[in-house]
A and B are shown apart, each in its own frame.
Chain A
């Protein structure tokens, strides 16, 4: 009964989305505002209907209504209530529904605000955004419906999943469900998937703005690009959080000693993040100098397509990945949709090239403009490398017929130099002035950080002599950090001359130039995350030893003593095998570590849960990888020293903090600067109301 209401709400939501798409396009084309208004209301109505659907699926998961096939798939008696709730995005139908729901929420949030400023954009904005929403909702309705039930035809052993009763079939309601994939039964389930989805779906907003600006010819003015930038920032910050949380989850659960394995699905998340970041930068140039307009629009289109591509990879299993939780028939549909939207967007961009002429010219090659262009080239090059490595197994199989694997060594080697160049540029670019930069001045500004970082890297590298590249990597990090800190110091000093004390000067400095100094803080966060990657790539040490009770293994300054091994039944239907070990540093007891091996009985799937002792300098990461079946007298441990990894998580927080500082809504004060409100400008040839 409840499920029927959910199904009806879902179908109504789909019809409303299709209606809004069609009617807004009609209204925009015929310049009839009442149709547009109707589309706007339909869009706003989509949200409550999809919400009903989502709530009912979640409730069914919670109360374990096993008459629904989806609930059987991802929920089970053994799972905790918390996990049953998160199972909404633990399988395919639920996550696509969740996806569609978030997207409709984003679109409604945009329509909620006042539209007098860029009213002309609204019709096609609704068309584009709701087309995407309708596509996702349509997939939920027709291909992977969470309200589908299990049916059984008497006399056969086959079970059918269908929304409506097939002829001759009787409903089949199992006693218990399969439950979530064990890898997903983790606290991280609350954070990583929703934030990632918010990031992915959020990118539809700037895309819809860009396309509607192109369609209406409003791409001539800059207003739309300011709005796009703000929404991109919203999507970007969620995707960033999703990336960091995903890394953390992998570190805590997958048990290979690292946090980033260049798995296709990780790459699928990284690509829109890269192009989105490139857009956030190129848009500054569009805003401030009226340049790189075509480029900015291309980046939005690319980001949108890559977000869909990410969904495509995650949900179809077309490329072999540890994330392939489900394989399905979604592939072709997605492929066609991505193809059509991508080609159509580029065609439209090409048709409207005349509206995107650069307003300014370049005065000097040594200028911030050049730095921005170079930076965008680097971002795109990295995206290309990641894309190539991700799809290459597929290409290779098509062309040569042999399956190959493209693993972390390739990505590290191919993207490493590009990332290094990008980080260097990140430190230097803020020193460049718009228009023209005197080389001598630049040299003076960079001199102190250069000397400081060389000295610092020399000392640091000397104490960590493991890899020649580490000298360079550590120098790079130190140099960029010092460059950024010098920017702060310069600003504070200038204010202190006016008699402010340092702390107040810092607060004022950041308060008055939030975008600039927030940006610097984001850069600091990125460097910290980079430190984690450097530690992972160059400094990681590991050893694996079989120990009898009381024996120890040694790695670096640490030694680990195996004390005890015991087995007990855990929650969620797992058998837990837990080792008790004592960690010593330079002979002194540090703490007890308990690495585990959880075995999920129903799924017959083991999971290695590491025990971690984190410090700012290095993490001690211990895995239980083997044991003697009889008597538990001996166990095999794999121990990693992961230097600098905890900086990745700190960097994630710093990045979020910086974004909040840079992007927190300004309030109304700023409007006062405008001498002539934009909307009073004559706009020839654009009626509409």
Chain B
């Protein structure tokens, strides 16, 4: 499917050589524009390598393909959609936020909420125990460094 298109693009490129106009030269996508999209894609064949840095010939060809698609006036979304359709969802650096994969965004929020909830519960239970213990209310902030206090306490414990 993509071979004829590539061929077409090549033909178009060759043709453009003969009809060089200033406008076309300006419209031709720069490496930066190609990289900006390639950065968001992962090489479909190499282990865990973004497409913009991958050094294999296959990846160079894919970057050339992005360039051609941009030259044909494709938008970024169209290019990305094309790659997902061709090589599967694994080419996206960031998984789509739908279906099962949305869990990857939901679970961290759930985890943080749960963690905070548990932490507050634990702190509360400690606090409650303190209140029922009805110790003499130590209502001042001592001026001694906390380390010293702890040391005194520990030594008191050891004497006891």
A638 to B35, CA, bound (A): 10
Is B100 part of the binding interface, using a Cβ–Cβ cutoff of 8 Å? yes
A254 to B55, CA, bound (A): 10
Known: A396-B95, A405-B95, A407-B93. A377 touches B115 (CB 8 A): yes
Is B101 part of the binding interface, using a Cβ–Cβ cutoff of 8 Å? yes
Which residues of chain B come closer than 8 Å to A384, judged between CB atoms? 107-108, 111
Known: A363-B138, A381-B112. A405 touches B48 (CB 8 A): yes
| Number of B residues, CB within 8 Å of A | 53
Nearest-neighbour CB distance to chain B for A237, whole angstroms, equals 22
Nearest-neighbour CB distance to chain B for A8, whole angstroms, equals 38
Which of B9-17, B18-26, B72-80, B125-133 has 4 or more CB atoms under 8 Å from chain A? B125-133
Which residues of chain B come closer than 8 Å to A545, judged between CB atoms? 30-31
A362 to B158, CA, bound (A): 22
A388 to B103, CA, bound (A): 10
Q: Which of B128-160 contact A (CB under 8 A)?
A: 129-130, 133, 138, 141, 146-147, 149-151, 155, 158-159
Which residues of chain B come closer than 8 Å to A678, judged between CB atoms? 158
User: Within the complex, which residue of A321, A374, A405, A441 is in contact with B90, where a contact is CB–CB below 8 Å?
Assistant: A405
* Structural contact, B48 and A321, CB atoms closer than 8 A: yes
Known: A381-B112, A404-B101. A388 touches B93 (CB 8 A): no
Is B8 part of the binding interface, using a Cβ–Cβ cutoff of 8 Å? no
* Structural contact, B159 and A436, CB atoms closer than 8 A: no
Nearest-neighbour CB distance to chain B for A617, whole angstroms, equals 23
A369 to B93, CA, bound (A): 40
* Structural contact, B108 and A405, CB atoms closer than 8 A: no
Which residues of chain A come closer than 8 Å to B115, judged between CB atoms? 377, 380-381
* Structural contact, A404 and B92, CB atoms closer than 8 A: yes
Known: A288-B150, A434-B149. A402 touches B141 (CB 8 A): no
A384 to B103, CA, bound (A): 13
A674 to B101, CA, bound (A): 57
Which residues of chain B come closer than 8 Å to A257, judged between CB atoms? 53
Is B81 part of the binding interface, using a Cβ–Cβ cutoff of 8 Å? no
User: Within the complex, which residue of B32, B93, B107, B119 is in contact with A408, where a contact is CB–CB below 8 Å?
Assistant: B93
Per-residue contact bits, chain A 413-443, to B (CB 8 Å; 1 contact, 0 not): 0100010000000000000011111100100
* Structural contact, A675 and B99, CB atoms closer than 8 A: no
* Structural contact, A404 and B95, CB atoms closer than 8 A: yes
Which residues of chain A come closer than 8 Å to B116, judged between CB atoms? 377
* Structural contact, B155 and A675, CB atoms closer than 8 A: yes
Is A272 part of the binding interface, using a Cβ–Cβ cutoff of 8 Å? no
Which residues of chain A come closer than 8 Å to B42, judged between CB atoms? 405, 407
User: Within the complex, which residue of B30, B90, B93, B119 is in contact with A402, where a contact is CB–CB below 8 Å?
Assistant: B90
Which residue of chain B is the closest to A295 with respect to CB atoms? B122
Is A37 part of the binding interface, using a Cβ–Cβ cutoff of 8 Å? no
* Structural contact, B48 and A410, CB atoms closer than 8 A: no
Per-residue contact bits, chain A 602-629, to B (CB 8 Å; 1 contact, 0 not): 0000111000000000000000001000
Is A523 part of the binding interface, using a Cβ–Cβ cutoff of 8 Å? no
* Structural contact, A543 and B32, CB atoms closer than 8 A: yes
Per DSSP, are chain A's interface residues mostly helix, strand or loop, or mixed?
A: mixed
Q: Which of A224-256 contact B (CB under 8 A)?
A: 254-256
Which residues of chain A come closer than 8 Å to B141, judged between CB atoms? 433, 436-438, 441
A418 to B118, CA, bound (A): 17
Q: Which of B42-94 contact A (CB under 8 A)?
A: 42, 47-50, 52-53, 55, 60, 88-94
Which residues of chain B come closer than 8 Å to A441, judged between CB atoms? 141
Nearest-neighbour CB distance to chain A for B126, whole angstroms, equals 4
Which residues of chain B come closer than 8 Å to A368, judged between CB atoms? 146
Which residues of chain A come closer than 8 Å to B49, judged between CB atoms? 322
Q: Which of A340-370 contact B (CB under 8 A)?
A: 358, 361-365, 368-370
A560 to B52, CA, bound (A): 21
Is B6 part of the binding interface, using a Cβ–Cβ cutoff of 8 Å? no
* Structural contact, A414 and B108, CB atoms closer than 8 A: yes
Is A503 part of the binding interface, using a Cβ–Cβ cutoff of 8 Å? no
Which residues of chain A come closer than 8 Å to B100, judged between CB atoms? 396, 399-400
A-side residues, CB < 8 A to B, are 254-257, 263-264, 288-289, 291, 320-322, 324, 358, 361-365, 368-370, 373-374, 376-377, 380-381, 384-385, 388-389, 392-393, 396, 399-400, 402-410, 414, 418, 433-438, 441, 513, 516, 542-546, 606-608, 626, 636, 638, 673-676, 678
A–B pairs, 16, beta carbons within 8 Å: A361-B133, A362-B129, A365-B127, A376-B119, A385-B108, A388-B104, A392-B103, A396-B95, A396-B100, A400-B101, A406-B95, A418-B112, A545-B31, A638-B35, A675-B159, A676-B159
Q: Which 4 A-B pairs have the closest CB atoms?
A: A407-B93, A361-B130, A544-B31, A362-B126
Known: A257-B53, A377-B116. 19 other contacts (CB 8 A): A254-B53, A288-B150, A320-B48, A321-B47, A322-B47, A358-B126, A361-B127, A373-B122, A403-B90, A405-B91, A405-B92, A406-B95, A407-B42, A410-B93, A414-B108, A542-B35, A638-B35, A674-B158, A676-B158
B-side residues, CB < 8 A to A, are 30-32, 35, 40, 42, 47-50, 52-53, 55, 60, 88-95, 99-101, 103-105, 107-108, 111-112, 115-116, 118-119, 122-123, 126-127, 129-130, 133, 138, 141, 146-147, 149-151, 155, 158-159
